[in-house]
């Protein structure tokens, strides 16, 4: 009997355009697909609660898809290197195939797996979750890009990406399957209370759900540039959690969007942001925890151990700041695990500049509540908004949430997510306090825009000094 090969799934939970699966199948050996719930590897950033909900459903979908090919998914939990070593020893596997990931903990885990595998079993890493492997697009002198625009231009020279691989039609299976843990025992779903109702309504985790989202975007792609900034309109692709969990490849998204036709470059450039974020965390593995600009270490953030500051933070998380656009966004996030990109920028800027609370607190909240929580994309966008990043907006450019709300026509969005304001008309709905139209059930602004702006600019003096 030929020695089997192990297929190590992480956040690449698909069968189509999955080069590790394709290589495992091409080897002709029996394939043992495994997913390891790894909360144990040192410095591994544990998945947030919304991501765990997604993972549960995505693993169910992957197992069902594998069963459609006569195969199945083996589940194990623990440190990746120890589990893979044990599984390889137990099955006599000759190789472990996986897709390469760039989070610092996954890069460390890959190194640990190489050292841990029994003799005769090798780790084979493939590329496939990004348009190009992180680190492969270099400057003329061979260095790494730190700024998005030149990175995007350089990457663009290598596009389109390779044509996506089809799903295999058959997978060779082993004579006997190794033991698997039960998904239900992992307790990935919330109970007491179960807050996942809104997420179940909005999302279908898994490869089929991803393909349906992509197909639905076909007709919208050419209007993306016009509509993507309007939170009241479904103008973007809603592909982010599917891309994060690798239920669809960016190459598949690229080619499908090109086929849809029209002017789609703006959308494709957003996909490049995803690659850019991975390139940043490869260069700065601590990007989620450390200001890229050291001068910002001096910024006097308000202290969360002060109950008044904590109350402001809680008001932000619960969508009760008295700024309708901010509150709508934070409630959309809580209910669905997703927030419109423009509103992510507004809510993040509000926490950092209006409330003068450290961006890392916001990054952690998003990490826990987003279904697309992604170490690279989340930290790069938070540092961009805070002005602390290698490529970022300037701290002193302070977004005015109320005029952003008017400019991007958010009235319908606010009515949907802040029902207390549903009866208000424009312009009062954008700023009920100012127009004397605030219902009793809706909070006063936690701080006025002018006062907040002055406080933020004063705090920034410490950075300049």
Which positions are annotated as active-site residues?
270, 273, 301, 341, 359, 382
Least CB distance to ligand FAD at residue 157 (A): 20
Least CB distance to ligand FAD at residue 81 (A): 27
Binding-site size for ligand FAD (CB under 6 A) equals: 27
Least CB distance to ligand FAD at residue 13 (A): 15
> What burial letters (b/e) apply to 203-221, b meaning 16+ CB within 10 Å?
bbbbbebbbebbeebeebb
Region for 238 from its dihedrals, namely left if φ exceeds 0, alpha if ψ lies in -120 to 50, beta otherwise: left
Among 144, 232, 317, 341, binds ligand FAD (CB under 6 A): 341
Q: Does 404 bind ligand FAD (CB under 6 A)?
A: no
Among 31, 214, 348, 424, binds ligand FAD (CB under 6 A): 348
Among 383, 385, 404, 405, binds ligand FAD (CB under 6 A): 385
- Cβ count within 10 A of residue 226: 12
> Dihedral, CA atoms, 382, 385, 388, 391, nearest 10 degrees?
100
Among 10, 11, 79, 344, binds ligand FAD (CB under 6 A): 344
With respect to ligand FAD, which residue has the nearer C-beta, 168 or 205? 205
Among 47, 373, 421, 447, binds ligand FAD (CB under 6 A): 373
Nearest Cα to 374, choosing from 246, 190, 224, 185? 246
Q: Are 241 and 336 in contact (CB under 8 A)?
A: no
Stretch that binds ligand FAD, among 97-105, 162-170, 370-378, 396-404 (CB under 6 A): 370-378
Q: Does 381 bind ligand FAD (CB under 6 A)?
A: yes
Stretch that binds ligand FAD, among 180-188, 256-264, 369-377, 435-443 (CB under 6 A): 369-377
What are the beta bridge partners of residue 9?
35
DSSP letter (8 states) at residue 295 = G
Among 374, 392, 411, 431, binds ligand FAD (CB under 6 A): 374
For residue 222, how far is the Cα from the chain centroid?
Answer: 24
Subset of 217-276 contacting ligand FAD (CB under 6 A): 228, 236-240, 243-244, 270-271, 273-274
What are the beta bridge partners of residue 74?
34
Stretch that binds ligand FAD, among 88-96, 156-164, 367-375, 390-398 (CB under 6 A): 367-375
Nearest Cα to 62, choosing from 247, 240, 242, 241? 247
Token digits of residue 8 = 């190590």
CB burial of residue 198 (10 Å; 0-12, 13-18, 19+):
middle
With respect to ligand FAD, which residue has the nearer C-beta, 27 or 385? 385
Stretch that binds ligand FAD, among 4-12, 291-299, 366-374, 409-417 (CB under 6 A): 366-374
With respect to ligand FAD, which residue has the nearer C-beta, 7 or 239? 239
Q: Omega before 187 cis (within 30°)?
A: no
Q: Are 452 and 354 in contact (CB under 8 A)?
A: yes
Q: Omega before 22 cis (within 30°)?
A: no
Among 372, 386, 432, 449, binds ligand FAD (CB under 6 A): 372
Nearest Cα to 123, choosing from 98, 157, 160, 106? 98
Among 378, 392, 404, 405, binds ligand FAD (CB under 6 A): 378
Nearest Cα to 50, choosing from 153, 184, 202, 237? 202
Stretch that binds ligand FAD, among 64-72, 82-90, 171-179, 339-347 (CB under 6 A): 339-347
User: Which residues of this protein are in contact with ligand FAD, per CB under 6 A?
Assistant: 228, 236-240, 243-244, 270-271, 273-274, 277, 341, 344-345, 348, 366, 370, 372-374, 377-378, 381-382, 385
């Amino acid at each position: 009997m030929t020695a089997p090969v192990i297929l190590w799934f992480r956040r690449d939970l698909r069968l189509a355009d999955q080069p590790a699966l394709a290589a495992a199948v091409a080897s002709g050996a029996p394939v043992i697909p495994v997913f390891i719930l790894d909360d144990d590897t040192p410095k591994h950033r544990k998945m947030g609660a919304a991501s765990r909900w997604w993972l549960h459903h995505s693993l169910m979908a992957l197992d069902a898809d594998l069963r459609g090919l006569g195969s199945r998914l083996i589940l194990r939990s623990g440190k990746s290197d120890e589990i893979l070593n044990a599984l390889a020893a137990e099955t006599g596997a000759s190789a472990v195939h996986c897709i390469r990931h760039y989070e610092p903990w996954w890069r460390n885990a890959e190194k640990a797996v190489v050292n841990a595998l029994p003799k005769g079993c090798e780790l084979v890493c493939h590329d496939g979750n990004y348009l190009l492997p992180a680190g492969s697009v270099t400057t003329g002198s061979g260095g790494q890009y730190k700024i998005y625009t030149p990175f995007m231009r350089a990457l663009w020279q290598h596009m389109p990406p390779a044509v996506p691989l089809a799903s295999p039609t058959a997978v060779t299976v082993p004579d006997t399957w190794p033991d698997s843990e039960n998904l239900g025992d992992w307790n990935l779903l919330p109970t007491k209370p179960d807050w996942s109702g809104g997420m179940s309504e909005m999302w279908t985790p898994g490869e089929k759900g991803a393909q349906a989202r992509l197909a639905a975007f076909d007709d919208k792609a050419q209007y993306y540039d016009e509509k993507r900034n309007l939170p009241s309109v479904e103008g973007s692709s809603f592909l982010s959690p599917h891309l994060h969990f690798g239920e669809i490849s960016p190459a598949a998204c690229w080619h499908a969007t090109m086929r849809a036709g029209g002017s789609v470059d703006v959308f494709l450039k957003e996909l490049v942001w995803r690659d850019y974020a991975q390139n940043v965390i490869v260069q700065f593995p601590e990007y989620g925890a450390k200001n890229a600009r050291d001068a910002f270490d001096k910024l006097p953030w308000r202290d969360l151990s002060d109950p008044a500051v904590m109350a402001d933070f809680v008001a932000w998380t619960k969508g009760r700041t008295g700024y309708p656009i901010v509150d709508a966004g934070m409630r959309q996030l809580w209910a669905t695990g997703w927030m419109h990109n423009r509103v992510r920028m507004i809510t993040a800027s509000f926490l950092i500049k209006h409330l003068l609370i450290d961006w890392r607190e916001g990054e952690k909240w998003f990490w826990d509540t987003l279904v697309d929580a992604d170490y690279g994309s989340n930290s790069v966008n938070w540092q961009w908004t805070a002005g602390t990043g290698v490529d970022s907006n300037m701290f002193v450019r302070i977004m005015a949430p109320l005029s952003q709300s008017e400019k991007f026509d958010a009235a319908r969005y606010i009515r949907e997510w802040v029902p207390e304001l549903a009866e208000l008309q424009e312009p009062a709905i954008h700023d009920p306090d100012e127009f004397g139209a605030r219902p009793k059930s809706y909070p006063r602004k936690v701080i006025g825009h002018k006062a907040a702006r002055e406080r933020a600019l004063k705090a920034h003096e410490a950075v300049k000094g």
